[in-house]
């Protein structure tokens, strides 16, 4: 979320490299090290942060991975998306809608 805040204020001082080095897993981004259950909303925020970078194509592998994770979670859920950090099921969809131009 910090990257999103900085980019919304047109701050280009910091990029997502440290986030990727620390939290990128094989199929998604972790919220913290040794996390057992991935967070849907955290990955929505990662996607927003990556899409707001100046050189978006540089992060295409991470963007694809995050989109794949989000879509897989969405399709696998029968009763809506459940997230361990957010109690409202509509929160994640509000984040996704922010990506649209």
Residue range of the domain that includes 88: 2-99
| Predicted pLDDT of residue 83 | 77
Mean pLDDT, the chain cut into blocks of 10 residues (101 residues total): 48 76 95 90 91 92 96 84 68 53 49
Classify 50 in phi/psi space as left (phi over 0), alpha (psi -120 to 50) or beta: alpha
For residue range 60-78, list pLDDT tens digits in order: 999 999 999 999 998 888 7
| CA proximity to 66, closest of 13, 97, 30 | 30
- Evaluate if pTM is beyond 0.85: no
The number of domains in the chain is 1
């Amino acid at each position: 979320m910090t990257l999103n805040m900085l980019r919304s204020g047109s701050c280009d001082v910091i990029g997502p490299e440290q986030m990727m080095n620390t939290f990128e897993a094989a199929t998604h981004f972790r919220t913290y090290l040794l996390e057992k259950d991935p967070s849907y909303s955290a990955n929505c925020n990662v996607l927003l942060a990556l899409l707001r970078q100046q050189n978006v194509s540089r992060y295409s592998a991470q963007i694809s991975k995050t989109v794949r994770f989000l879509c897989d979670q969405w399709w696998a859920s029968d009763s809506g998306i459940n997230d361990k950090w957010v109690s409202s099921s509509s929160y994640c969809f509000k984040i996704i809608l922010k990506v649209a131009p």
